[in-house]
Structure 1
């Protein structure tokens, strides 16, 4: 049989690229006028005529035009104009009552439960803008507190009260756009209420499909509780629960970080690798059973039937694991590859990958902007391309065990190489031990622990003792793998956080990788591509080197950390000083240091800090420093004499001991930190006054350079302000003041403001914070003194630049 020739460019790949172009165009322009679609489609045709071979130019042009048209229109269909009844029109209105349908499995946290609700109706009291019942559109996050005997499950109809809170971003340069991320999922707000205030609307006409999903959700929750209880919430329990049920949001951050640093975080998510292993297991099982029938075996129908049957448990598992977007995409990819295999036709693997991408983007255009979509498709693309290159150079036929090791190493290397620019751009993390880690963890966790967990799930209703025995053995293996990963990540240079990569950096990296693969593939243009690769690497190297020049000005950025304080000082001597780290108190699990402060530092190209200053051990100043001290190189920690019983303080001091970070406590004699031109002066650094609270014991210091000065007073209040103002030895005058205690009524007294005499004040406070900071009286005092006011809740991050004399204030947002 004559082999079929394969085109140089698989025909469906341009269509997929065209769809991506259309989706990007629709997302960026946000315009529904058909002229835009016509223009984009016309450009695509011209590009196609210049690119594709002469014989099929018209066909390819039509495919590209159709791809761009469908991609662009799909964005418009999935992102329609906001109607009058949309929930975004009713933010922060009290006495709002909504009804809606639950559209997600409940996500259980230690102190709350979160579900996604598709709103159907909205009604308010007589004095509100919506006194009559209206049809509502839009989805919200519904956060429920407390416990209830009545479970809320998928597709339940419920009634609950507002107000609806808008989704807010942290206003920092390079910050993750959480608002757009949720809008692409159709989520436009959140409601917080007690679970006892939720009313379920009975509906006796539930479909069989809905009842089946609710049954699987109930089984999932019960089995998760069984795993965590029987394994006593060990690390192995969290990993097994994530493998089998897909529930991983309660996994300890330390354990999650350990897998990420080893380059094995993909094992914790039900994604392509996970579903691929399951498909192999189910296919092998069904094929072995069907092989018992000679007729099916001889007619070669056993493989086809096994392939079809494999999709059934995969579909059930897709629903059971929570129907997450990443799992849906993995299932579609597996199904497409399985259908291609069953058709027994020679096809280019890139075509199969393109078909999966086209189907996914038709169903959900916003998936293009999903990190998991980008990572999974990029990994598969590089694995396919890399394997073809390796086939050309590796002509050996090793024994099966060695072949298995070579396969895992090759797949890990190619996937890691292909996703490295994206991981550097999104997560700022690189692991150099991912190959030895995956060589052990993928076979053990993927082919032993995962099947053991699934078998324990099947035995659990009838034989819980046997199920617990299987889980215990699997947990022991998982914890052994975790110890191995911990050993690898403790090696020098095993992993590192990187400065943020811009989109240009990522594109440059992929151009270089593309040139390398093209050169190794042995195409006719090999010398040309080798030259292109050298030029790209040279440009990229020059670009990286020009980033690290000496600064010509000082920069102070008051970071938007919500209700808290954090500021970054970058001196003319290229020293970096972080003042406080923000942080939330109470039951919240949100880590400001990990998700706000650290990304801002990476965006500034900072992975090491010369000085970290903790003004006082309050949660809204201290908690964010835990991640910073544990994951950044820090030269010195500066703090006052206070201690704290909170675990965050213990972790900060433990990090200093482990990493041998010196701790400097300013006192009356030693109260200066000076560099060539820049100085920090600390005021009234005597022993702790027991009559003051932790706020008044804050470190107070002034930053000076030439004629520039800025005062950082921490959270001091009227008592400490009076002492500072009454001490004639203190030279408090400063051009810029960081507002004491977030602008509270008990601070920024008249006598203090007279001594400081600032021209500008920056208030660090959270949007709609429960303390109602800043207080109107404080704002009035600032205005009476003709002080310019900047607020992080309105302006986002506030950046001050100076060359030693005058200064400029640059807010991230324009404010209200």
Structure 2
């Protein structure tokens, strides 16, 4: 069973690496091979082929439930119900919406945003809405979380916004178990907010009781990541098992004393424990970790009630198979791997061991095993691992698991019976979390708290897995401590760097904004930082920091903020909080007059590793319009050059042409002002004469950038171009003669990622073949 289960997992995982799903002929061949394997009873091979066939079929089915191209950016009238807790993001509410009787080409599940709603939105409400939808889309950047993948894994076929006219109509509340759970979660969330209005720990208590994480701040997530305690604030298998275990022990003792003897105490206790686990998982939205925990508990409790022995490994494998059969796309989520690997590690260090360990060994070994065993996956998924996770978890696990979670659930029940007592209990829990939070903050501030690593080679993960098994093996196993050597490929990653006298430029995909990273042999520069959408979300945290960590860049030699428009400077504060810069240059007073900062102006020059940097603008005195005062930077190697222009428009372009003339010629031009019609004048483009124009624009942005007239000018001058909205992040490497150009779309394309189609009908490959 073990080999077959892992083969089934391998088949499912292999399909998720495909750029295109196999056609009918290939699937027919797989089906024939599957039948032959079953006939010959080659069960591992049959499981592998079965996983491939099952995932291909479901993947094709999920892809069909998507928005038709005729409805892209068009309004439509739909009826359905809110299926998740609405989450506030600034002046809007985000929620999932199940469509009842969807019209043709409309997916059955949507992710909607409602700006400044005048209604009290709650889960379970049925609404008639006029919405404008678009197909799932997200930025493509190395090292970053991809929202489009998350949407596909959660079967969401389109995103959109609610139109204020015609006015939305509330039609009632949805009956049914799913809506009941959603409504219950909403009610509990409202009562928690009333009991702890605007308290700093309200978000944590909501996360631990109903799985709602929208109240956890960006700073709190950062502390949890740095201390390796994120799993404690996400309802997971440990929380479910704890609640079920407490209910089992309480009911068994109570039943043995007061219950009827016609039903054995352990059977009554098992039934009550299973129901409690099911309800708690329902409150958490039946996420993958909670679903896995409920399945494992179901098998274990059934065996306990029937007085049969089932090994822990068999229970885990059965849970794995069940999750994969019903939800093969679960392998796209990091939580799937972390959840199952964590449980497997705990079984490995405890099941079948002889003798009894001491108290301190039993208290510390699970934390050490989890920290060590999950480290490879954390590096692969997030390029970081917490070095203080064992200590932080040793302190936090008892507090959260044994005190906060049981008492928080007790307080939730009391909210419906004794609200005053519940509010007092919640205040006590908030004080306890304040104390724990103070400790975690201090631990997170330690300089060695977190280790950042670039993504390792493909072979590092299996080697690390074998090494961890050896390190956690019982004493006396030969070669046990040699396992440490097998972990080295995780950390010793051969990272390509530019040669001396060469430079690498990466134009990151930050939507409607600009963020550029320039690397030389021993230096790194960031030019603009993208936008900030809310206190919890900005491009510095979401895109720049993960990319720089993926490139093993921990400090910047220079940060240039071309001007103070939000789409250029919005991510700067978050970036500097995570990755310091030796110098900040900007045309904006807010940034230029900070410590270790200065204004950018025409005439500044410097050299790194044989690469020349020259600031061409703005002049002194500057222009009246702020856009034209953007820092303009030219980067030159022996044979190629880059021109970064910020948001300059035609007046600044004319000044540059008159001031520098042919000296403006550059191999790569970052399109001024995202390709707006107020920029990219004919004379300027003629003088620059780039081999390639890179356009930093947002997908289907409301400004219509790049403007059609600008694209016509490119064609007139025979200038090829690439748009981040179509191809994701774009990398340019200089060489002795030719430029090497690649895009995130080429490197990370998967079958569920939408083909980039712009509003002019051009696809990612039409512009610069």
- How would you bin the TM-score normalised by the shorter chain? 0.7 to 0.9
Q: Is 1:290 aligned to residue 258 of structure 2?
A: no
Aligned partner of 1:591 in structure 2 is: 538
Residue by residue over 1:682-708, the C-alpha shift from the partner in whole angstroms, topping out at 9 and shown as x without a partner, is: 13455674x623322211121111232
Residue 626 of structure 1 and its aligned partner are, at CA, apart by 2.8
Q: How does 1:739-778 map to 2 (within 5 A)?
A: 739-778=671-710
- Residues 120, 215 of structure 1: CA spacing in aligned structure 2 closer, same or farther, 3 A cutoff? closer
Residue 12 of structure 2 is matched in structure 1 by 23
Distance (Å, rounded) in 1 between the aligned partners of 2:224 and 2:101: 44
User: Does residue 679 in structure 1 map to residue 612 in structure 2?
Assistant: yes
Q: After the TM superposition, which of the residue ranges 407-416 and 113-122 deviates more from structure 2?
A: 113-122
1:128 matched to which residue of 2? Answer: none
Residue 362, structure 1, aligned to residue 325, structure 2: yes
1:306 to 1:81, Cα distance in 2 relative to 1, 3 A = closer
Q: Which residue of 1 aligns with 2:30?
A: 36
1:161 to 112, 130, 133: 130
Asked if the contact 2:67/2:105 (under 8 Å) is kept, the reply is: no
> Residue 584 and residue 256 in structure 1: after superposition, are their counterparts in 2 closer, same or farther (change >3 A)?
closer
Residue in structure 2 matched with residue 171 of structure 1 by the alignment: 140
Partner of residue 578 from structure 1, selected from 512, 526, 535:
526
- The within-5 A match list for 1:555-570 is 555-570=504-519
Deviations 1:341-369 (A, max 9, x none): 33433332111111111222222122233
**Partner residue of 2:277 out of 300, 314, 326:** 314
2:204 aligns with one of 231, 235, 239: 239
SS in 1 for 2:157: strand
Matches within 5 A, 1:378-527: 378-388=341-351, 391-392=353-354, 395=355, 398=358, 403=359, 405-517=360-472, 520=474, 526=478
Shift of 1:105: 4.2
State the SS of the aligned residue for 2:701. coil
Q: Matched residue of 2:582: which SS? A: strand
Q: CA deviation at 1:668?
A: 6.2
- Shift in alpha-carbon separation, 1:42–1:22, aligned structure 2, 3 A: farther
Change (3 A) 1:617 1:500: farther
Matched residue, 1:272? 237
Any conservation in 2 of the 1:22–1:40 contact (CA below 8 Å)? no
Which residue pairs with 1:4 in the alignment? none
Give the Å deviation of 1:318.
2.2
Comparing 192-201 with 759-768, greater Cα deviation is found at: 192-201
Q: Which residue pairs with 2:748 in the alignment?
A: none
For residue 248 of structure 2, give the secondary structure of its aligned residue in structure 1: helix
Corresponding residue for 1:547?
495
Match of residue 113 from structure 1: 93
Query: Measured at CA, do residues 86 and 735 of structure 1 come closer, stay the same or move farther in structure 2, by a change above 3 Å?
Result: closer
Q: CA deviation at 1:578?
A: 1.5
CA contact (8 A) 1:16 1:354 kept: yes
Cα distance, 1:490 vs structure 2: 1.7
Q: CA deviation at 1:477?
A: 0.5
Distance 1:196 1:754 in 2: 47
Cα distance in 1 for residues equivalent to 2:277 and 2:493: 49
Which of 291, 294, 298 is the aligned partner of 1:335? 298
Shift of 1:672: 1.4
Change (3 A) 1:244 1:143: same
Relative distance call for 1:20 and 1:581 in structure 2 (3 A) is same
Q: Which whole-Å deviations, capped at 9, do the CAs of 1:117-174 have from their partners, x for residues lacking one?
A: 3445455xxxxxxxxxx485542212223334464543x6544334320111323345
**1:604 paired to 2:551:** yes
Distance 2:181 2:727 in 1: 46
Q: CA deviation at 1:620?
A: 1.0
Residues 41 and 65, structure 1, Cα contact 8 Å, conserved in 2 = no
Q: Distance in 1 between matches of 2:290 and 2:416?
A: 25
Q: Is the 8 A contact 1:146 1:194 kept in 2?
A: no
Corresponding residue of 1:3: none
Tell me, yes or no, if structure 1 residue 143 matches structure 2 residue 116.
no
Structure 1 Cα separation of the partners of residues 464 and 120 of structure 2: 53
**Tell me, what secondary structure is at the counterpart of 1:338?**
helix
Q: Distance in 1 between matches of 2:692 and 2:47?
A: 54
Distance of 1:418 and 1:84 partners within structure 2: 38
In 2, Cα distance between equivalents of 1:143 and 1:588: 17
1:621-632 equivalences under 5 Å are: 621-632=568-579
1:809 and 1:344 map into 2 onto residues whose CA distance is 64
Residues 662-691 of structure 1 show CA distances to partners (whole Å, capped at 9, x for unaligned) of 32434567x1121241111113455674x6
Partner of 2:732: 800
Q: 2:155 aligns with which of 186, 199, 204?
A: 186
Q: State the Cα distance separating 1:303 from its structure 2 match.
A: 2.8
Question: Per-residue displacement from partner, 1:599-653 (whole Å, max 9, x unpaired)?
Answer: 3333334333322221112211112233321112433322234227xxxx99xx6
- The equivalent residue for 2:310 is 347
Deviates more, 1:236-245 or 1:751-760: 751-760
CA contact (8 A) 2:91 2:115 kept: yes
- Which aligned pairs between 1:172-251 and structure 2 lie closer than 5 A? 172-173=141-142, 175-194=144-163, 197=166, 210=176, 213-251=178-216
Following the alignment from structure 2 to structure 1, what is the Cα–Cα distance between the partners of residues 583 and 682?
35
Residue 121 of structure 1 contacts residue 136 of structure 1 at CA under 8 Å; is this kept in 2? no
Match of 2:72 in 1: 92
Displacement after TM superposition at 1:77 (Å) = 4.9
For the residue of structure 1 that corresponds to 2:626, the secondary structure is coil
In the alignment, the residues of structure 1 paired with residue 282 and residue 273 of structure 2 have an alpha-carbon distance, to the nearest angstrom, of: 15
CA apart distance, 1:726: 2.8
- The answer to whether the 8 A contact 2:122-2:186 is kept is no
Match of 1:51 in 2: none
Runs of 4+ in 1 over 6 A off after TM superposition: 43-46, 82-85
Q: What is the DSSP-based 3-state SS (H/G/I as helix, E as strand, rest coil) of the residue aligned with 1:724?
A: helix
Unaligned runs of 5+ in 2: 746-763
Provide closer, same or farther for how the CA distance between residues 759 and 85 of structure 1 changes in structure 2, counting only shifts above 3 A. Answer: closer
Deviation at 1:595, TM superposition (A): 2.2
- In structure 2, do the counterparts of structure 1 residues 496 and 196 end up closer, same or farther at CA, with 3 Å as the change threshold? farther
Aligned to 1:163, the other structure's residue is in SS state strand
Which moved further from structure 2: 34-43 or 229-238? 34-43
Partner residue in 1 for 2:640: 708
Aligned-residue offset at 1:268? 0.7
Q: Name the counterpart of 1:726.
A: 658
Name the CA shift for 1:759/1:295 in 2 (closer, same or farther; >3 Å). closer
Question: What's the CA shift string for 1:366-416, capped at 9, x where partnerless?
Answer: 223322111111001111112248x45xx5664xxxx2x533311111112
1:479 and 1:782 mapped to 2: Cα distance?
A: 58
Conserved 8 A contact 1:105-1:322: no
| Partner of residue 749, structure 2 | none
> Quick one: distance in 1 between partners of 2:493 and 2:65?
53
The normalised TM-score by structure 1 is 0.83
Cα 1:759–1:343, aligned 2, differ >3 Å: closer, same or farther?
Answer: same
1:734 and 1:756 in contact (8 A); partners too:
yes
Maintained 8 Å contact 1:111/1:145: yes
Q: Choose the corresponding residue for 1:71, options 46, 51, 54.
A: 51
Q: 1:776 to 1:749 in 2, by over 3 A?
A: same
